[in-house]
Amino acid sequence: MLAKIILVHIHCTFMATIKYQIRSNRNPANIYLRLSIDRSTNLRRKSGYSINPKDWSGITSLPKPKDEDLKNLSVELKRLANEVEKRINVSNSIGEMITGQWLEEQISSILNRKSQRNNSRLFVYIDLFISRLPYKELRNGRRGVSKSTIQKYETLKVKVLEFENYRKHKVFIEDVGLSFRDEFVKYLMEIDLLNGNTTGRYIKFLKTVCLDARNNGMATHSQLNQIKGFTERATKVYLSIDEIEQIEQTVYDRQALGNARDWLIIGCYIGQRVSDLLTLNSSHVVRRSGIHLIELTQKKTGKTIAIPIHPKVQAILQKREGAFPKRISDVNFNLHIKDVCKEAKITALVIGGKMVTDPVSRKTRKQYRRFPKYELVSSHICRRSFATNFYGEIPTSLLIGITGHSTERQFLEYIGKSADDYAIQLAEYWSTQSAIPKEGTRLHIVRNTGTK
């Protein structure tokens, strides 16, 4: 049943009248502009704006002035009506026929939209956004994003299409406001069964796409700037130094597991992404100022870094006569290191996320509960183990230089450290420093001037 039609009257020359309407209880509801030329000629087209019906005032026939965004929406509606009124007067003065197409073109022109309604569909625009990613100029001066970044937006596109099918209603860029954000989050977490962190990342990607559309002159929701992604603190699974030594001392019958074990140990002591780790060879080992280093250019960041060779890594290279372990694919590495850790008895129960296939629906979803740690091991554990094990032992700025994180805050979130953890580390550092005699400090001997 249609919601009660709410109108705002703005009188025009030549007896024409402009009225705004909302015609649905659905949130968001499109705001229509209705143009009445005479008793028999009424034209109605979408204004390009939408609103939560609860935010519409029946008294003022405008958005309720609850916040700055709604106030701005009122201003925009009045501006649109005034501009249409001016164009009606001009068209009437030159005898131009005013039709539904004419009204749609005027609204599009006023809102700086080139009648590209199809491209304003969110699913379609995400596809357009993805097509431009290989040519995007990055802050570091490089051009084109990584394959993993493109894949994230490809997945977002799929999620949006699935959400449209679930709603049985197309989503347009201008629909993406706070109400849409809440509805999409609920769908992702309760229907698609995604965890909070994954859902929060999708919201961040969604906002990025919509901001890009705005920068390209497309109409967006007045609440877009208020949309925020989110993260939830989760258990960070890593291998401790003791567990790494346990793996090192385990004897493996399968040559493939021994090879994967050596890659795993190297990874835990150099802290690189798997895309950089598994491409290492003897040409990456150099000698600078008498120190043996591993030098490489990170694929994702484009940064060239140098890492001192840890004794554990050196032992593996010497065992292999200076060569790195045999080349292995990412997929096989992920499979083998689970078996490596299982045979090394890395079986403590820890909370983590694992992809599990539902026997009834046959859908695969990430489930969070207690698993034996070896089941949660993946190639990413190398970098996280390095960062976590050496945090507090090596200055954080040096660790960031090796792991390739952009900021210290990002690094601390990565290893699951809070502001309190950082404060404790700093306090311990100050305590240590205060116990070290400063250069130039002298020991003063107080002579005993008393008599025996």
Task: Please write the tens of the pLDDT for every residue from 73-112.
Answer: 888 888 899 999 988 888 888 888 888 888 988 888 887 6
Q: What ranges do the domains of the chain cover?
A: 9-110, 122-226, 241-419
pLDDT of 357 strictly over 50: yes
The residue whose two tokens read 């199809």 is: 118
Is-same-fold flag (122-226; 241-419)?
no
Give me the residues paired with residue 350 across strands: 371
Split at pLDDT 50, 70, 90, the class of 441 is very low
Question: Which residue did the predictor score with more confidence, 307 or 446?
Answer: 307
Comparison of pLDDT for 178 and 417, the residue scoring more: 178
Is the Cβ–Cβ distance between 21 and 7 less than 8 Å?
yes
> Roughly how many angstroms between the first and final C-alpha of the chain, as a whole number?
110
Query: Which of the two residues, 7 and 131, has the higher pLDDT score?
Result: 131
**pTM of the full predicted structure?**
0.53
| CATH classification (class only), 241-419 | mainly alpha
Which phi-psi region, left, alpha or beta, contains residue 34 (left: φ > 0; alpha: ψ -120 to 50)? beta
Over range 339-343, report the average pLDDT.
Answer: 97
Given 1.10.150, 3.30.160, 1.10.10, 2.60.40, which CATH number is that of 122-226? Answer: 1.10.150
Question: Which structure tokens are listed for 373?
Answer: 């740690």
Region of poorest pLDDT, from 210-214, 274-278, 397-401: 397-401
pLDDT of 138 reads 77
pLDDT above 70: residue 444: no
| Residue in 116, 100, 96 with CA at minimum distance from that of residue 108 | 116
- The answer to whether the CB of 226 falls within 8 A of the CB of 373 is no
**How many alpha carbons lie under 13 Å from residue 334 in its C-beta half-sphere?**
10
